[in-house]
Amino acid sequence: MKARVHVMLKNGVLDPQGEAVRHALGAMGFDGVKGVRQGKVIELDLAEGTSEADVEAMCEKLLANTVIESYSVEMV
């Protein structure tokens, strides 16, 4: 079994990398991109029986820094 963890900067936390991507898209002629937020996806290959709560504990302790980031867990 696998879990997919999505980590994003929280709303209100400046994302200068996303902003640079938005600028580049505009310069390339892709109009209408109002904002870009860049995050990361972490895939975990898990032993059977690992619970979503276990993955959330991993997020709280290591995978995300909840001062600046939010996360969501998808069991797949």
Closest approach, Cβ 20 to another protein, in A, equals 6
# residues near another protein by CB under 8 A: 11
User: Does 72 help bind another protein (rule: CB under 8 A)?
Assistant: no
Nearer to another protein, 65 or 72 (CB): 65
Site stretch for another protein (CB under 8 A), options 26-34, 44-52, 63-71? 63-71
- C-alpha to C-alpha distances, 35 to 25, 26, 70, nearest whole angstrom: 10, 10, 18
Binding residues among 11-40 for another protein as defined by CB under 8 A: 13-14, 16-17, 20
Nearer to another protein, 3 or 49 (CB): 3
DSSP the chain: -EEEEEEEEPTTS--HHHHHHHHHHHHTT-TT-------EEEEEE--TT--HHHHHHHIIIII--TTTEEEEEEE-
